[in-house]
Amino acid sequence: MLTPKKLWSVLGLLTLILAVAFVLGLAWGSVRVPVFQVLKGKETDPTYRAILWELRLPRVILAGLVGWSLSVGGVVFQAIMRNPLAEPFLLGISSGAALGAVAAILFGILFWGGLPLLAFFGALLTIALVLSLAQRARTIETNTLILTGVIVNAFFAALIMFALATASGERLHSMLFWLYGDLSRGRFLDLWILLPVVFFGSFLLYGLGRPLNLMASGEELAAQLGVAVERAKWFSLIVVSLMCGVTVSFSGVIGFVGLLVPHLMRMSFGGDHRLLLPASGLFGASFMIGADLLARTVISPSELPVGVITAFLGAPFFLYLLYLRRRPWNL
Count of C-beta atoms within a 10 Å radius of residue 166: 10
From 80, 227, 240, 254, residue interacting with other proteins (rule: CB under 8 A): 227
Cite the beta strand spans of the chain per DSSP E: 135-136, 139-140
Could you tell me the smallest distance in angstroms from the CB atom of residue 227 to other proteins? 7
Element (H, E) at 136: strand 135-136
Q: Any alpha helices (H) in 167-187, and if so which ranges?
A: 169-179
Count of C-beta atoms within a 10 Å radius of residue 18: 21
Could you tell me the smallest distance in angstroms from the CB atom of residue 148 to other proteins? 20
220 binds other proteins (CB under 8 A): yes
198 binds other proteins (CB under 8 A): no
117 binds other proteins (CB under 8 A): no
From 37, 95, 213, 236, residue interacting with other proteins (rule: CB under 8 A): 213
Site for other proteins in 66-105 (CB under 8 A): 78-79, 82-84
225 binds other proteins (CB under 8 A): yes
Type of residue numbered 33:
V
Residue 136, beta-bridge partner list: 139
Could you tell me the smallest distance in angstroms from the CB atom of residue 254 to other proteins? 24
| Residue closer to other proteins, measured from CB, 52 or 277 | 277
Could you tell me the smallest distance in angstroms from the CB atom of residue 331 to other proteins? 6
Residue 227's SS3 state is coil
> Inter-axis angle of helices 257-269 and 273-297, to 10 degrees?
130
From 11, 223, 294, 324, residue interacting with other proteins (rule: CB under 8 A): 223
Q: Among residues 253, 239, 252, which one has the least CA distance to residue 199?
A: 239
Site for other proteins in 264-323 (CB under 8 A): 266, 270-272, 274
Interatomic CA distance for residues 293 and 239, integer angstroms? 29
190 binds other proteins (CB under 8 A): no
Q: Are 289 and 251 in contact (CB under 8 A)?
A: no
Q: Given the rule CB under 8 A, which residues bind other proteins?
A: 1-4, 78-79, 82-84, 207, 209-211, 213-214, 216-218, 220-221, 223-228, 266, 270-272, 274, 328-329, 331
